[in-house]
Structure 1
Amino acid sequence: MENHNLTHEFPELEDKINVLKLNDETFKKMYVNYEEVNALIQHYEEGEQNHTTDEHLTELRKKRVHLKDDVYSYLKQN
């Protein structure tokens, strides 16, 4: 299973991520939202019994990509 945590996705921005999630409420909300979606995807992917549909899992993955794009844009602007 791939690791999609933000610090793994953007290792070069790890310090900035850590500072912003402590000091910037907007970024913190984005960070928490991304990590919650990512954790839900991991839960479904790791579970022996998949309690969701393939369509739902695909939608969650799409949402994660959009959230990651938003986080990256925010990191580059701030």
Structure 2
Amino acid sequence: MLVEKHDLHHEFPEFHDQIHNLKVSNMHFAKLFTEYHDKDHEIHRIEQGSEVSSDDYLENLKKQRLLLKDQLFAMLQKAD
């Protein structure tokens, strides 16, 4: 099964420098970035079959990841 990547650098390549700068200068952004990465990694493992979960759990993780992505994107836009 081919699983699509959703890491922030892949999702927002135009914000590569801003992502790096905010990760080192903004603790809130760094915390959200880590949460996003952790959720994305867990979703990736589930979708690859490395972990087993219910469909509801996976959908909830995806919703949480989307919320984090929206928050991070808003912060990236303000920093641009």
Q: Same fold (TM over 0.5)?
A: yes
Q: Which residue of structure 1 lines up, in the alignment, with residue 61 of structure 2? A: 60
SS in 1 for 2:52: coil
Displacement, 1:60?
0.6
Displacement, 1:77?
1.7
Letter in 2 for 1:71: L
Where do 1:1-78 residues align within 5 Å?
1-47=3-49, 50-78=51-79
SS in 1 for 2:36: helix
CA distance in 1, matches of 2:55, 2:75: 30
Letter in 2 for 1:15: D
Structure 1 segments, 4+ long, off by >2 Å, are none
Aligned positions, number: 77
Displacement, 1:47?
1.8
CA distance in 1, matches of 2:46, 2:26: 30
RMSD: 1.1
- TM-score normalized by structure 1? 0.91
Structure 2 stretches of 5 or more lacking a match?
none
CA distance in 1, matches of 2:35, 2:78: 19
Letter in 2 for 1:38: D
Q: Relative contact order (alpha carbons < 8 A, sep ≥ 6): 1 or 2 greater?
A: 2
